[in-house]
């Protein structure tokens, strides 16, 4: 099946600004799905609110565009009710880790088989450039006109600490790696988190003098390294890319099936 067959062309043009990284994530996601050979009817994409969350409308799967921060909770209902579905949850940084932070850690703790994608452009784009919990200390935003004094979460460390059984990071520059990681994440049985560093030239870029979309992608190229690179020892500010956590753990819906089996046999 061609990538184009996964798109709902009826709903184009999309809302993303020129240079936005989210289209690259969409491209990688569809290429990853293409390689899996699943039926479109087996895939559900659940998103929340924000620029990133519009991704659900553009893809020809079962799509659920929900409310801000709650995509993982809706996805939990879909998955638990019908575990044979593959449920993918693309979210923005504010959506996933600010308003949705509680659902994020609890979905990770349950190890329910969802694929959470955090499209991290370090800004609230849809509302026009306010700081997010991933903007980081010293950044500028419309709500941090002097400077941002909030420290950022490390998405990877947070996900791993909360119990996610697959945790990875890539960027919109490293599309080959991103596609491979997304494929692994979807195939992984359990809660998987993929953080994608994505660029918002319109709001984060302009306010933080980060240059054009190309400059911002160049930044991803020059400031990220594969996990375990020696360069990290020399420059601790470099951001690591790759699969940080991949472990086999009992998956939530499979565990609940055992509860049903017990209950049906009359054992408490």
Partner 1 sequence: MKNKNIKFVQGNEACVEGALYAGLDFFAGYPITPSTEIAELLSYRLPQKGGKFIQMEDEIASMCTIIGASLTGSKVMTATSGPGFSLMQEALGYAIMAEIPCVIVNVQRGGPSTGIPTHVSQGDVNQARWGTHGDHAIVTITASNHQDVFETTVDAFNISETYRTPVILLYDEVVGHMRERLLMPEQGELPLVERLRTSVREGVDYHPYLPREDGRLPMSDFGGVHRYNVTGLFHDMWGFPSDNPKIVHGLLRHLVDKIQNNVNQIARFKEYFLEDAECILISYGSSARSANHVVASRRPRGERLGLLELQTLWPFPYDLVREKCANAKYVVVVEMNMGQIMQEVRKAVDRPEKVFLANRIDGVFITPTNIRDILRLIQGKGV
Q: State CA 52 to chain mean position distance.
A: 9
Residue 260 CB, nearest distance to partner 1 (Å)? 4
Cβ proximity to partner 1, 40 vs 247, nearer residue: 40
Cβ proximity to partner 1, 78 vs 245, nearer residue: 78
Cβ proximity to partner 1, 157 vs 261, nearer residue: 261
Cα separation, 122 vs 138, whole angstroms: 12
Cβ proximity to partner 1, 37 vs 268, nearer residue: 268
175-187 helix and 22-36 helix, angle to the nearest 10 degrees: 50
Which structure tokens are listed for 145?
A: 């006109």
Cβ proximity to partner 1, 104 vs 203, nearer residue: 104
Residue 129 CB, nearest distance to partner 1 (Å)? 22
Cβ proximity to partner 1, 44 vs 118, nearer residue: 44
Residue 85 CB, nearest distance to partner 1 (Å)? 5
Q: CB-side exposure of 231: number of CA atoms within 13 Å?
A: 12
Residues that bind partner 1 (CB under 8 A): 8, 10-11, 40-42, 44, 46, 56-57, 60-67, 70, 73-82, 84-85, 102-103, 106, 256, 259-260, 262-264, 266, 268
Cα separation, 96 vs 152, whole angstroms: 13
Residues 51 and 18 sit within 8 Å (Cβ to Cβ) = no
Residue 65 CB, nearest distance to partner 1 (Å)? 4
Number of C-beta neighbours around residue 252 at 10 A: 21
Cβ proximity to partner 1, 34 vs 218, nearer residue: 34
Element (H, E) at 178: helix 175-187
Residue 112 CB, nearest distance to partner 1 (Å)? 9
Residue 66 CB, nearest distance to partner 1 (Å)? 7
Residues 203 and 56 sit within 8 Å (Cβ to Cβ) = no
Instruction: Tell the burial category of 218 from Cβ atoms under 10 Å away from its Cβ (0-12, 13-18, 19+).
Output: middle
Residues 187 and 36 sit within 8 Å (Cβ to Cβ) = yes
Strand partners, 46: 64
Residue 259 CB, nearest distance to partner 1 (Å)? 5
């Amino acid at each position: 099946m061609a990538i184009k067959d996964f798109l709902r062309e009826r709903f184009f043009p999309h809302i993303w600004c020129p240079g936005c990284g989210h289209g690259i994530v969409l491209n990688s996601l569809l290429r990853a799905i293409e390689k899996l050979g699943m039926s479109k009817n087996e895939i559900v994409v659940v998103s929340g609110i924000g620029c990133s969350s519009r991704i659900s409308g553009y893809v020809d799967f079962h799509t659920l565009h929900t409310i801000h921060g709650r995509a993982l909770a809706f996805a939990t209902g879909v998955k638990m009710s019908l575990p044979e579905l593959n449920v993918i949850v693309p979210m923005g940084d504010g959506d996933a880790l600010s308003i949705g932070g509680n659902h994020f850690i609890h979905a990770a703790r349950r190890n329910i088989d969802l694929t959470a994608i955090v499209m991290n452009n370090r800004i609230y784009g849809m509302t026009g450039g306010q700081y997010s919990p991933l903007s980081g200390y010293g950044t500028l935003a419309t709500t941090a006109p002097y400077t941002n004094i909030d420290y950022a979460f490390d998405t990877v460390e947070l996900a791993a600490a909360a119990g996610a059984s697959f945790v990875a990071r890539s960027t919109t520059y490293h599309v080959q790696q991103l596609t491979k990681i997304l494929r692994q994440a979807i195939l992984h049985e359990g809660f998987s988190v993929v953080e994608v560093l994505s660029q918002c030239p319109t709001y984060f870029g302009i306010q933080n003098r980060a240059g054009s979309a190309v400059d911002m992608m160049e930044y991803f190229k020059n400031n990220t390294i594969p996990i375990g690179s020696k360069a990290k020892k020399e420059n601790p500010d470099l951001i690591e890319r790759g699969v940080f956590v991949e472990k086999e753990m009992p998956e939530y819906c499979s565990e609940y099936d055992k509860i049903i089996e017990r209950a049906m046999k009359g054992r408490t």
